[in-house]
Structure 1
């Protein structure tokens, strides 16, 4: 054993400095005691991210430890105990954190543990925490304190809040950490419902016919009228829309189109009318089409109209051409 680095070497230097005689009983006592020292390391901290302290307790004495060893951490403002790792038992205390162990540390050996702290904005720009080692039979208490200063960087991340409530029984320091966390409530996910498709009815087969007649005279500068008639020749009533399209020739312009059950609109030279109600067998329905007669229609024009129904087996009677005489 190196006497200069041992408890005996320390006693020998002390005795020499003060003129004491190192007797045999004193040598035996020095060779049977422990000398603990504390070392603390940490990297830089960032607000919102737990920081980590690593604590090492070294036994440079001549005998192993017996009984409980404690480390009290007086944490800097803005730091709060979070969690620990290692064989030591750690928890929050009145000023920061308290860690203890009853495991023996042999002479020349060390014991290392760590704990993390939450970092708040109050710790910016640096945090200085004091770590104090407590062991009754320690020969030299001057190396039982360590001050660790750590730089602290800001962060935009929100910092969780931890509330601790320590308790200390008479013989053994213990703690009961209480952590209060704000619950995160996930928003209720929106449910997209797929609409139930509407069943398309099977077209009822039936024979429709289209006819067109002129009502009154067509005179340049006045309105003329066509009557379009749709007839259901059977054998079934319609169950899908019936569409009539009238294409106006040059010289005629759309004015209006009406009919019971019909919905009509005119776009340019095209007029479209839709009949959505069922049309029974043997019945007819009419459209009154009013057009403006221009000079370009003189002396005659031919108006063409078509009928469309998905289940019409005979489309030869779905097309009509109507020559029309025009007077001045």
Structure 2
């Protein structure tokens, strides 16, 4: 890959967001909105890459056809200047393989493959799953380790064995165990990306190369500056930015992250739309607290009138 920020050891760039999937007023896929949002994130929020059809993209409630549509729209919009990583993970290996091959045909630069969720496979099953998916296409794979959602963690020895596969090149780490992450970083060439915004700086301090974020939809330049400051040896500045951004890093997850991210984008006049059931829109109290968190982190989003309108719109949907 030759996209901006893609270098050896950092295969997908430094700053990525797990992009939300915009929907129209009737809940249908907003393909044009997805292209506009991707352009905003790359051109104005300084993103090196985007993850499409991940959890924050509401992959659980979008069809395979919708996933293909939104991926192709984003590739066309920003694929010449940013890496586009397709979320293809499911709890069915055969289905994940189908999605991986479809993403390759659509022009994705890489694949995000989450730990199979709900069925809680043993470590041998995880090895087989990830290797099978990596064998199914020519694209590099980012393994997504998130035991809080999947119900099972990828153990250190398993991750080290996965690193032996030539196309398994990176990890989105939402395990919350810096010690085990550090061991994998020490023992392998896997590029680690923080999957928890509040742990980005701690992970970078033990060798991570970037973040696949959520508040980064709104705080992209500041998050990138934090990572760069640390890499350039200005630890004090990196810590200052981390503490400044902490209210947003935590605040976007006071309820499900996509709910508040879509609320923030709507208040900024950007494509987002509502969420699909069983998720529900942010309520008035959640919107108020979101504005407070963003203001404390250094960005004002929306007015009181806009919040009221958004809440009415969300309830109507």
Q: What TM-score, normalized by structure 1, do the two folds share?
A: 0.19
Higher normalized strand content (fraction of residues): 1
Higher normalized helix content (fraction of residues): 2
Q: What TM-score, normalized by structure 2, do the two folds share?
A: 0.20
Q: Which has more radius of gyration? A: 1
